[in-house]
Chains A and B, each alone.
Chain A
């Protein structure tokens, strides 16, 4: 929203809405096989802010989210996290994709939680969490295990540390996935429809954990259909349609008093 007036995206001291910017998205375009999915998206997310991305399926929300950790490569535009350009580097005025090792390093700062949890089924809950810290931060087996248990405590599952994913409910699996992302101490945490694959009675526990993580000051970008959650937790709600952000602002505006007809139609249909 206020990204258009940003003069220098590479600087960490830039502010949006008067706050410290953690994620800045500028004029991002992306097509799949000639079909435009993102058509010039700009947005920014302040440090410790929760941004909720809403919109119909196919509107480009998940693609935008996946561009932030370079799981998807945008065709044009810039994305910075904490001032660092994600996935690309400036080579004499040309933006060239970074080498793989750099992208991997950048991804450590951007945690991601998937719709389908994607826990590693051959590992226990604690091993799922310990794997990346052991491999990437050089922690010993014991240190990584300790970190894993501490992370599981944050999502209230320390007693399930030795369970395999198939012995956990969907809600528990998603909480382990959140703990796995948290263990890398990311600067920002991305959620791609984290409750859409859950049975209705399990949604609440996951949203509860997400709320707690937000309250601890984590910067979060959440693609979601849970408008009540967005209303209560988000600092900013973005409504996307056809690859553009139609409306953005605080939840009281976007969800309660939408200015655009299309936002109004979506919100009333979803809250029904």
Chain B
């Protein structure tokens, strides 16, 4: 073998069996991987075994998994999470644009909003909203209508405000980062065409910011599903509150907590799948690698269109 030009042409091409053993290359053995793998599996097996032998009444878990009260609580968890996320996205977009505004008052107010609501525990914020009546006994427009705060700020309203406004502070930073990730030449090209800044933002900048915004929003949505359990502290009846109420009565603490855990895992898994599809959709024209099938279909559609004309 070798590079010398005079040597005979290689005849072994494409048939590994004919390669002489001394020329074969071998992957490096990794015996330690087997050892670590075995150790981890052993620990895992021990844990599973412990839980299986532990004093968990799996029949109770199965029974309450579809209990009406649990499912109702799950519904409330999903409802408050979705609504709070929507509020968060709306507030986040609004304050992100304010933060990037040329007006120093607007950008400072946006900065303060983020500082205040990101800098205090969401549990504390929930409690403050719930107890708003202590500072403002009534809410409304003086002279037009007034309502005792306690009637307006229900646990649901307090949870929605607390979670939504807190989320908005985080999403402000996410959306601001997304907007800043778009090349400044894009906004400039839009301006040069005479488009207003609002149109440029909506039609040119934000669509391009989406690939940078969607993954963290997905993370936040998953976080929200779990954070919403804090609303239990202000007696909002979500899934964890209801699980607690059941185990206060029957004493099956761990069983009910496992029930809640199963549903949280299910909900976050579904959200992850949704995030995957959303990401794919928004990468459509930016950097998407198109599959062969996709390209064939697109070409066929284009051909049909041309034919129809």
Contacts and interface: CB of A to CB of B under 8 A. Distances in A.
A71 B191 contact: yes
Interface stretch (A24-32, A98-106, A250-258): A98-106
Contacts, number: 71
Interface stretch (B53-61, B70-78, B146-154, B182-190): B182-190
Nearest to B183: A118
B306 to A, nearest CB: 10
Nearest to A131: B203
Interface string A173-189: 00001001100100000
Contact of B285 (A105, A106, A122): A122
Contacts of B172: none
A104 B192 CA distance: 8
Contacts of B284: 122
A135 B192 contact: no
B185 A114 contact: yes
A101 B203 contact: no
Interface of B: 183, 185-186, 188-197, 199, 203-204, 207-208, 284-286, 302
B192 A100 contact: no
Contacts of A135: 195, 199, 203
B194 A132 contact: yes
A121 B208 contact: yes
Contacts of B189: 112, 114, 118-120, 177
Interface centre among A107, A120, A181, A184 (most CB of B within 10 A): A120
A207 B196 CA distance: 30
Interface residues of A, number: 31
Given A114-B188, A114-B189, A118-B186, A136 B195 contact: yes
Contact of B194 (A108, A119, A124): A108
Contacts of B285: 121-124, 164
Contacts of B194: 104-108, 132, 136, 184
Given A114-B189, A122-B208, A122-B286, A104 B203 contact: no
* Top 6 A-B residue pairs of the complex, sorted by shortest distance between their CB atoms: A108-B194, A118-B189, A112-B192, A132-B193, A107-B194, A118-B185
A69 B192 contact: yes
A71 B195 contact: no
15 contacts: A71-B188, A107-B194, A111-B193, A118-B183, A120-B186, A120-B189, A120-B190, A121-B286, A131-B193, A135-B199, A135-B203, A136-B194, A136-B195, A164-B285, A177-B189
Contact of A120 (B196, B197, B204): B204
Given A124-B285, A135-B195, A135-B199, 4 more contacts: A71-B191, A104-B196, A136-B195, A181-B192
B191 A162 contact: no
Contacts of B208: 120-122
Interface string A50-73: 000000000000000000010100
A116 interface: yes
Nearest to A70: B191
Contacts of A131: 193, 195, 203-204
A132 B195 contact: yes
Contacts of A110: 192
A118 B188 contact: yes
A181 B199 CA distance: 17
A116 B284 CA distance: 22
A199 to B, nearest CB: 19
A132 B207 CA distance: 16
Given A114-B188, A118-B189, A104 B195 contact: yes
A129 to B, nearest CB: 10
